[in-house]
Structure 1
Amino acid sequence: MSSGKEILNVLEGESIGVSGIVTGQAGKREYRVAVPLYNGKGEFLGIARLTHQLDELDSLESQLTQSVFVFSFVSIVLASFIALHLTNRVSRPLKQIETVINRISEGDYSEYYMGVDYPEIMELGNTVNKLADSLEEKNNTILQSNDRLSALLDRLIIGVVLLDSERRIEMMNPAVYQILGIDENLLAHSFLEMSKSYGLVQIIQETYQQKTNKNEEIHIYHPKERILDVNTMIIPDIRGNQMIVLLYDITEIRRLEKVRTDFVTNASHELRTPVTALKGFSEVLLDGALDNPQLLRQFLEIMYKESRRLEILVNDILDLSRAEQRQVPMKIEKIILNDAVKACFQVIKPQADEKGLKLRLLSNHPTPVVLEGDQSRLEQVLNNLIYNAVNYTDKGGKISVLLEETNEEVIFHVADTGIGIPEENLGRIFERFYRVDKGRSRNSGGTGLGLSIVRYLVQNMNGSISVKSTLGLGSTFTVRLPKSL
């Protein structure tokens, strides 16, 4: 037996000698251990060496390594499955929340998160649901406000135009199309295409350049003449300076102002004439004409005539004022229209006979035409129309009143064979103090208020009046009244 490291260790005095892993004579790995042997007296007897081949340990190590690898692989696979399961369990509700958020971003608020997995995720999902409800409510409020704003803009009689910082049209309401006579969609077009009015273009350009609001009154002549009150307002925003242009058509207002001015002027003139006559003749009488019976009677007759004219004028002005403000008291009663026309004929017959005019009553109905209303006001309308016809018809002419009746209304036409009305005057004959033939109406004692009073009285009776005329051939006034007020 060859000595080895383990023997040398024992010989050197160690209680146990080991060789470690060494290769034996057979070429196999071995592990040797040596210990000293003593007798009962403590005398050294020898050395005992144990040798163990490591083939079994190598096999056990290989098995152990395989077992560890298999266990590790199984553990990794199992952990992966567990991690995947946990990830899916967490990601599934998160994906649901993501889907809800995407739907919200697209404006669809019908999707809700309904998961019950984790308290934290449930809390997040409930927050998203609350956010969806809040956004839906606010979006509905905005939509309702936009609908109300659109409806308001569509019904405004004021034109509203919104221009962006590049002076392009972003929005315009229907009133703009009507006021400016536009018949095409000009959104995203330059404001220069909106109107050919130099005044409007200049106001908008100056507002952009000076960045100050402006208000001016301008005239436009295309497609028809109008007077506009233009307001421009700068609205700063993140994209630059926008502008709102407000267009208010004040053509009718200015016309009415002119009518009122003309009314005051004409009324002053009409009142001044009889007042001046009364004053002048009174002064003459006071200066000594009272002693001349012939002059006294002549002047008194003139003064009576002028005072009567003044009385008629004042009464007509008062009647017109009450009729215009719908303050004329109406006594509702049954009216036989045929009888009312005949009564008017009797009043006007002396003037008609004096001019040799023929008065005719015609009807398309076999029985008398009946309606409800105020007979005195209706006779006032008839008297004015028939009186005008007599006044503007030359000797030998005809005045005809034609009665018609439908299920809902009665219609009467007052036609004459007189001088007629020029076409350019037809739109103004109902204006106060407007006369087609000023000399003829003044000579006949007319105030120029009769047709204005007629128009307002007819309106007070919920009716309408119109006129047709041919110059030199005559005129026809048509009044339509409901059978019952």
Structure 2
Amino acid sequence: MMKRLNSVVVKLWLTIILIVTTVLILLSAALITFIQYYFTQKTEESLYNDAKSISTVIEKSKNRQLAINHSEMLLEGNKGVIILPDSNNAFLKDKEKKEMLAFIKQDKDLNNIKLTQKKEIKHVSIKVNDKKQTYLLLGYPTIDHNGQKSVIYIYEDLRSISDTNNVVAIIILITAIIFLIVTTIFAFFLSSRITNPLRLFKEQAQEVAKGHYDQQVHVQTKDEIGELAIAFNQMSHNIQHHIDDITTSKNIRDTLINSMAQGVLGINHQRETILSNELADNMIGEMTSDDILLFEKQINDTFKSQQTEYREYEINQKHYAVVMSYIDQIQTNKQSGLVAIIRDMTKEHHMEQMKKDFIASVSHELRTPISLLQGYTESIVDGIVTEPEDIHEFLLIVLDESKRLSRLVNELLDVAKIDAEGVNITKEVRPMSELIHKMGTKYRQIANELSLTLDFQQDGVMKDEWHYDFDRMEQVLTNLVDNASRYTKPGDTIAIHAKETPTEHVLTIHDTGVGISPEHLDKVFERFYKVDAARTRGKQGTGLGLFITRMIIEAHRGSIDVKSEVGKGTAFIIKLPKNS
């Protein structure tokens, strides 16, 4: 019920009906008052005219009584006349005149007209036959033919005026009802015509509130409602345009934030996270209770200082650097907040440690051969060693250490060149058997010295042509066979097997040595990384050979993998794509 009353149609209809009703009531009251006043004035004029006529008759008539009798004949309608003094007292037989005479005698103004000679007219209410009636009474002074002062009281029943007013009121009421009916129809028509576009506006506005900004209002009028429709449609278009811009900006922002190598974290003044990406979520998820306390302390310090605060965290064997900066307004509510940039420093820490280990390793590797070179050379130069056989032995040691230094320098140069230029390869079509045969020749003597068995062959495809850089692949196999020789013991086997699949050439370098622990398998191809020296026979490498090997294989667009089991051996599997 209240919803209907709050409708614009009902309100507009009630307003129009109220206005029309008010106008009709005021107009009817004015009209009835005017008609009543008009008829009263006409009645008074008629009474005055009749009084003048009677006065003239009385003044000119020599027979007073006859004049009085003739006076009543001059009256028309509901009029009556009393002329005082009247010697016949004819009015005593008429109850209406009797009641009227009684009223005249009680009224001071009417009773004294004979003395004052002033005209008096009044509305008189008297009871006749137990019914109260209203009259218009006129007291008119006159003088008869003999000079005697008299008063003519002439009156008229006002029932005719009341009846007329009643008829007029009924006519006005019927007219008002007709007007109200017509007005109601017109009001509903007008309100519907006005409110139908408003209903459309309401429905479209509700759709816009739900996020459907492509809504349009179709209003053909050229009035204010039409202008409002044009403005509404333009507003919807602008909102849609702004929403699209905001959505695009948000998508770009989210994409940039999620693609950043650093973690991003936005925190408002209530310590609520309002923005984050995957790296930041991962760091927060890995935090222990102690880490969370330190992180909250950094947040509080940043809000307190309103400056940039830097902290480093070690979480689950990972290193993070967190830089927090204060922002005066981070949300639309104009509240302050902060933004944290999180950088995963694990690789940097690992690289730094590897560099330290590398420097220490290189220093050790250089110190040993340099010391040997210096010592044996000084022994020969100073003549301490004079026997030809001893000199020859010392020179062999010097040569071996020189080769060791050369290999170390070459590996360092290769890594530097890879970092600067990448790996340059020149592929050619050659059988893999040539390289395998060369490797067998190269390591036959070393295998005899170390009591190792070499199993270098190409399974059934010795004449198959491979696409590869011969010199680079020789470097790869040299690194892998050298590593295998250091991690084997007398009686073990080092094997190179080549085969093919429909899409790849596969080269496997396998040994039956001590194997590699599982915790080292994921890191053996990293630069400067070396497995436990206690498991190595002879001199330990620099930790660069497998890194260089991986880079060469990737330059061939191939892959290298390692499988190992402690105590049973290690296998490196190289896969090169065909015809690439």
TM range (shorter): 0.7 to 0.9
Aligned partners of 2:431 and 2:462 also within 8 Å: no
Between 295-304 and 90-99, the greater mean CA deviation after superposition:
295-304
Residue number in structure 1 paired with 2:219: 115
SS in 2 for 1:334: strand
Structure 1 counterpart of 2:80, which letter?
T
Deviation by residue 1:79-125 (Cα, 9 ceiling, x = unmatched): 44434433332232233223333332232224322223451221111
Structure 1 counterpart of 2:297, which letter?
Q
Change (3 A) 1:12 1:228: farther
Distance, in Å, in 1 between the alignment partners of 2:367 and 2:313 is 37
Q: Which one of 412, 428, 432 corresponds to residue 528 of structure 2?
A: 432
1:242 maps onto 2:337 in alignment: yes
How high is the sequence identity, in percent, across the aligned residues? Answer: 24
SS in 1 for 2:314: strand
Higher helix residue share: 2
SS in 2 for 1:479: strand
Distance, in Å, in 2 between the alignment partners of 1:53 and 1:200 is 107
Structure 1 counterpart of 2:318, which letter?
R
The offset of 1:344, in angstroms, is 0.5
The offset of 1:73, in angstroms, is 3.9
Q: Which has the larger radius of gyration?
A: 2
Between 432-441 and 111-120, the greater mean CA deviation after superposition:
432-441
SS in 1 for 2:219: coil
Aligned partners of 1:359 and 1:398 also within 8 Å: yes
Residue number in structure 1 paired with 2:324: 232
Q: Which one of 422, 425, 430 corresponds to residue 335 of structure 1?
A: 430
Residue number in structure 2 paired with 1:133: 237
SS in 1 for 2:435: helix
Residue number in structure 2 paired with 1:45: none
1:164-313 correspondence to structure 2 within 5 Å: 164-181=268-285, 196-221=291-316, 225-235=317-327, 236=329, 237=331, 238=333, 240-279=335-374, 288-289=382-383, 294=388, 301-313=396-408
Q: Which one of 165, 182, 203 corresponds to residue 78 of structure 1?
A: 182
The offset of 1:404, in angstroms, is 3.0
Deviation by residue 1:386-411 (Cα, 9 ceiling, x = unmatched): 23323433333322222232122222
1:94 maps onto 2:184 in alignment: no
TM-score, L = length of structure 2: 0.66
SS in 2 for 1:107: coil
The offset of 1:416, in angstroms, is 1.9
The offset of 1:378, in angstroms, is 1.1
Aligned residues, how many?
Answer: 451
TM-score, L = length of structure 1: 0.77
Distance, in Å, in 2 between the alignment partners of 1:364 and 1:344 is 16
Structure 2 unmatched runs, 5+ = 1-49, 61-70, 82-90, 98-134, 143-153
Distance, in Å, in 2 between the alignment partners of 1:90 and 1:447 is 90
Distance, in Å, in 2 between the alignment partners of 1:162 and 1:122 is 46
RMSD across aligned positions (CA): 4.2
Deviation by residue 1:181-223 (Cα, 9 ceiling, x = unmatched): 56xxxxxxxxx999855433432343345444322111113xx
Distance, in Å, in 2 between the alignment partners of 1:55 and 1:435 is 134
Change (3 A) 1:56 1:304: closer
Structure 1 counterpart of 2:267, which letter?
L
1:372-451 correspondence to structure 2 within 5 Å: 372-430=467-525, 431-432=527-528, 434=530, 436-437=532-533, 443=539, 448-451=543-546
Structure 1 unmatched runs, 5+ = 37-49, 183-191
SS in 1 for 2:213: coil
Residue number in structure 2 paired with 1:6: 52
Residue number in structure 2 paired with 1:347: 442
1:360 maps onto 2:458 in alignment: no
Change (3 A) 1:453 1:150: closer
SS in 2 for 1:454: helix
Structure 1 counterpart of 2:344, which letter?
D
Structure 2 counterpart of 1:23, which letter?
G
Change (3 A) 1:326 1:180: farther
